Amino acid sequence: MTAIFYFSATGNSLYATKFLQKNLDAEIFSMPELLREKNFTTSADKVGFIFPLHYGGLPILVEEFIKQLEMPNAKYIFAISTCGIPYFGRPFTDLDEILAEKNLKQNASWFLRLVSNYLPYRDTAADWRIKIRYKFADKKLEKICREIAENKNHITCEVGKEKCKQMHDDWENRRESLDKNFVCDTSKCIHCGFCEKICPVKNIKRPEGSPIWQKNCVECLGCLHVCPKKAIDIGKITQGRKRYINWHINPKELLK
């Protein structure tokens, strides 16, 4: 049995997960859902993790989930990190450290270049560039599926690991302030509740319809990208920048 655990805010990691699900006949599970249900056990002998790259490392939520996951039968463990810029980061090194505490090891890992959703850094890629990235991503996913099916080992290069560790640690230490610059233009907000539903850690409340952040953000930016009226911004830096949801994913799939 192959079990794949995923975390996806704007659809890239879910896109990769569904590709593997179809080609490997795997069962897929949402990490945020399992965290809420406190379900941390799998009997699968082949276990995969698919997640975005956050500040050069593992997303906060992914760290929390994998540390608690019990995998007594796991013989082959793989990971895919979706990203805008591949190879710069240390998500697989961080994952190795977590697995080592469980006397397990990672057999294969890959970066999968798609579309960055981190709007404070830069605007979303042009549509023609996104089309090209989907095309190359599909080809790489086909290769990944073959290697996983054959239980092949695959080591991925990670560049700037020490610099990324410092950057990632500093980011995690600022967790209570990660949402301090999030704002909602209440004149645009239609009180649809998408922002509240997509938040993986229930960090958004809407006592009067519009979102209020609760200082427990993991900075996935799902709320910003899913808003149908572009009412949510991070200060002024994201104003006017193009929102992004993976073109192959229905936004409703991200609202579970």
Task: State pLDDT tens for residues 207-236.
Answer: 999 999 999 999 999 999 999 999 999 999
Please name each of the domains of the chain with its CATH number. Answer: 2-164 (3.40.50.360)
- Which one-letter DSSP state was computed for residue 248? T
Task: State pLDDT tens for residues 6-55.
Answer: 999 999 999 999 999 999 999 999 999 999 999 899 999 999 999 999 99
Using a pLDDT cut of 90, give the percent of the chain over it: 99
Kindly write down the DSSP assignment for every residue of 79-133, as one continuous string: EEEEESS-SBS-HHHHHHHHHHTTT----EEEEEE-----TTT-PPPPHHHHHHH
Tokens describing residue 66: 């994998």
Give all strands (DSSP E) within the chain, no chain letters: 2-6, 27-30, 46-52, 76-83, 108-113, 182-184, 204-205, 212-213, 232-234
Task: State pLDDT tens for residues 95-113.
Answer: 999 999 999 999 999 999 9
